[in-house]
Amino acid sequence: MSVSELQHHERQLHDLASEFEALHVRVRDVSYTPGADALRRIGPLLLAAQDLTATALVRLNALHNSTFAAVAGRRSSLERLSSVLVASSLVNNALALALQANPGEGELPSGSRPHDGPAGTARQAEGILLIVGHLDEAASRLERSATACRHLAADIVRDLTGVESCRTH
């Protein structure tokens, strides 16, 4: 594997880690009120997570199809990136579940009565707790994905250092 190819993969993995970190901050810091506001604020996070999942898949394919994959001991690196892909997919799931848990707002179905009173308040509180839990799960997985990408980039830097030292000897 050429030095420039290793540098290219290392840069891409650092960029991916930075994107995971940025989305982690956005998910961790999102503020909303239940209902339409939560949909407006969490929905874009889900779309961004889906984009990151696609990017992780592209990076996995690029590494798998490169000579990096043929080097002895690199299977664990590919498995690490595969685990990032899985974690990223689970972020999508957690964010979608947060949207599902969002207490509805707006028109009630025909024949329904408003959910005022203690029962409605309890349902809303339960929904908020579920949303918080799903957002926490998504943030945690994003943080771990960023860390895994940084570790993989460090593996590539070690490989790069080995290639460069072989050239100087």
| Tens digit of each residue's pLDDT (9 = 90 or more) over 63-76 | 888 877 666 567 78
Rounded to whole angstroms, the Cα distance separating 40 from 108 reads 20
pLDDT of residue 141: 98
Structure tokens at 43: 């929905």
Q: Which domains does the chain have, with CATH numbers?
A: 3-105+115-168 (1.20.120)
H, E, C per residue of 33-100: CCCHHHHHHHHHHHHHHHHHHHHHHHHHHHHHCCHHHHCCCCHHHHHHHHHHHHHHHHHHHHHHHHHH
- Locus of tokens 């599902």: 100
CB atoms within 10 A of CB 53: 20
The model carries a pTM of 0.84
Least confident of 17-26, 62-71, 91-100, 160-169: 160-169
pLDDT at 108 (0 to 100)? 47
Cβ neighbour number for residue 108 with a 10 Å cutoff: 10
pLDDT tens digits along 78-129: 888 999 999 999 999 999 999 999 987 544 445 555 556 788 788 888 999 9
- Which tokens is 37 given? 């506001």
Rounded CA-CA distance 157/95 in Å is 33
| 125 or 131, higher pLDDT | 131
What is the average pLDDT across 34-50? 96
- Report the percent of the chain where pLDDT is more than 90: 57
